[in-house]
A = this chain, B = another copy of it.
């Protein structure tokens, strides 16, 4: 039944030692997780208290008081626990583990007799449980709790949290389903679906998969559950206001998922839902669901994704816009939506080892996700524009949601912990295996142990990626194929085994080397990394006549700090003038790009329009990795797309 052809090596079997990613892992480990702990305990001075832990103490009867925060405030605790689990997997930490155990004890105390656990409803509206799945994030919180429980069990072997989770999920299972008397519902904010698949994975209990399947298949059928629910509530929303309709596109319940071919609505909801769909299809072998996931993947990556991997072109609803509508300056591109796309890619890869998934995963990891965090690890973007004019972000309506500088990190509650859990679990994205093949999807240095039918294989990877295209693997003995991704950005590659060139079989963007490996056999992959100028499909109206600078997996951008203001006055010079050079100013070992450019000169006259002239001044431009933009004082302008040379 199962159509997953390969499974990722578990996080605990992979150790990352990578010039690029170790910096991010350290930030997550040393800064984000401790800081988030302080935050959820209201210990950060000069910031609004989170109340997240306090809510649990009240629900547990340890404190008196009111619930405070968003209805989904509990999820901040769960995301923290999940990141802690990954962090403990990377390296033990008794003190941190004890702290987490304390939180889990608190959760146990707060959990109702029947398994219910969501502090908002327990404290504030115990009679309103399961009456507003549309807005109240009950199933969303259950999803994050589940992910935390699974991760913590996998990290520590302790099952207390997992059992808390199972009691709540069992309760949900008794309330929601196709049977008469149950709610025929599903999450207003998808997340539980993918979490149930993880719970199924760790427990092997089929009913978790069945619940996931029900929620995914019920979604978007008529009569629409959210409309029925709204009617049952007397057309009153959670904030006691009148609500006369449900935006079904916003939460992807406008039609059954099997009939959906275009990504729509809130981009994080969409990304989590599609991830759940793919994870379910991978387990059940449901070709219809797999096809739906493929259609949605193709739609997003071929028609609705920025070159950085960002998705969600509209601030209105933090949502997908429509095919080929990719405005660079009014875009939303929530950091969490990019992270959700990484999750989605990982599930698709399980069914189909095709670089169309892993190339996008790489694009997201190096560009559209980590751009959400400053290099000091303390400031975060929710929204990630590809073109930014600071004055417009301050004064112009359609750009007001864009920031020119990352705000202090506690200001945003969802993206920082989401980045923390993605970064700390990155080891689980690098390698997967089928019974006869080991796949290397990402070029991230470190060591991995892969369990094959014949025994354990050790893989060591090293290199200086993404700054350099030379990647080495050292393998341990066995009779298996080693398949390494050849990125679509590479125009050519060279592959050597023990120093001798080989001609591998190429399939769906992977080079397969099948042989009886001996211990310490080496593979060396060389990917030439020239500066590449990219163009967009002409149907993407905003980018016609423009080029984006890439090198390897990295998208570059221009900042006013290097290039002066009025970046659109610049036109790229001759392609052969572009060259990479080392510059560690922002990031140790980083590579920037310089090249020739032409600039429309400032006008002597005070006029707005005049007959056209060809006058341009020759100049030089400097491009830096997009992920690093906004890390200097001068953030007047930034752009990824630059007017192209046409001579």
Which residue numbers of A lie inside 8 Å of B, CB to CB?
A: 298, 301-303, 305, 307, 313-316, 321-322, 325, 327, 330, 389, 391-392, 395-398, 491, 532-542, 544-545, 547-548, 566-569, 571, 575, 599-603, 606-614, 643-644, 646-647
- Could you list some 16 contacts between A and B, CB below 8 A? A302-B608, A313-B396, A314-B396, A330-B330, A330-B397, A389-B541, A491-B611, A533-B612, A535-B610, A535-B612, A537-B607, A537-B609, A538-B600, A545-B545, A571-B646, A646-B646
Distance, CA A314 to CA B644, complexed state (A): 29
Closest 10 CB pairs of A and B: A316-B397, A398-B398, A544-B568, A538-B569, A538-B600, A535-B612, A533-B612, A541-B568, A545-B643, A330-B398
Q: Is the CB of B608 within 8 A of A538?
A: no
Q: How far is the CA of A307 from the CA of B612 in the complex (A)?
A: 13
Least CB distance, A576 to chain B, in whole angstroms: 13
Contacts of A391 in B (CB 8 A): 322, 325
- Enumerate chain B residues within 8 angstroms of A313, measured Cβ to Cβ: 396
Contacts of A302 in B (CB 8 A): 606-608
Chain B residue numbers with a CB within 8 Å of A534 are: 609-612
Neighbouring B residues of A643 by C-beta, 8 Å: 544-545
CA distance A537 to B566 in the complex (A): 11
**CB within 8 Å for A538 and B603 given contacts A548-B609, A611-B532:** yes
A392 to chain B: closest residue by CB: B325
Nearest B residue to A540 by beta-carbon distance? B608
Contact of A535 among B305, B396, B566, B611 (CB under 8 A): B611
What is the distance, in angstroms, from A249's C-beta to the closest C-beta of chain B?
10
Excluding A538-B601, A548-B609, 17 further A-B contacts by CB distance (< 8 Å) are A314-B397, A315-B398, A316-B397, A321-B392, A322-B391, A325-B391, A325-B396, A397-B398, A533-B611, A535-B612, A536-B608, A538-B602, A539-B566, A541-B568, A545-B545, A545-B568, A612-B644
Report which of B327, B542, B607 forms a contact with A398, defined as CB distance below 8 A.
B327
- Name which residue of chain B comes closest to A570, CB basis: B544
| Minimum distance in angstroms from A603 CB to a CB of chain B | 5
Known: A537-B603, A542-B568. A325 touches B395 (CB 8 A): yes
In angstroms, Cα B321 to Cα A398, docked, is 11
| Cα distance, A611 to B550, chains bound together (Å) | 9
Q: A322-B391, A325-B392 are in contact. Are A547 and B612 (CB under 8 A)?
A: yes
Contacts of A316 in B (CB 8 A): 396-397
Q: How far is the CB of A534 from chain B (nearest CB, A)?
A: 5
Using A316-B397, A325-B391, A538-B569 as known contacts, say yes or no to A305 and B545 having CB atoms under 8 A apart: no
Most buried by B among A305, A316, A539, A575: A539
Nearest-neighbour CB distance to chain B for A220, whole angstroms, equals 20
A19: min CB distance to chain B, Å:
27
A564 to chain B, nearest CB (A): 11
Interchain CA distance A325-B571 in the complex, whole Å: 20
Q: With A389-B541, A397-B314 in contact, is A307–B533 under 8 Å at CB?
A: no
With a cutoff of 8 Å between Cβ atoms, the chain B residues found around residue A532 in the complex are: 611
When chains A and B are docked, how far (Å) is the Cα of A370 from the Cα of B68? 55
Known A-B contacts A534-B612, A542-B568, A566-B541; the reply to A396 vs B321 at CB < 8 A is yes
CA of A27 to CA of B13 in the docked complex: distance in angstroms?
Answer: 79
A398 to chain B: which residues have CB within 8 Å? 315, 327, 330, 397-398
How far is B146's CA from A245's CA once the two chains are assembled, in angstroms?
46
- Among A389, A398, A566, max chain B CB count under 10 A is at A398
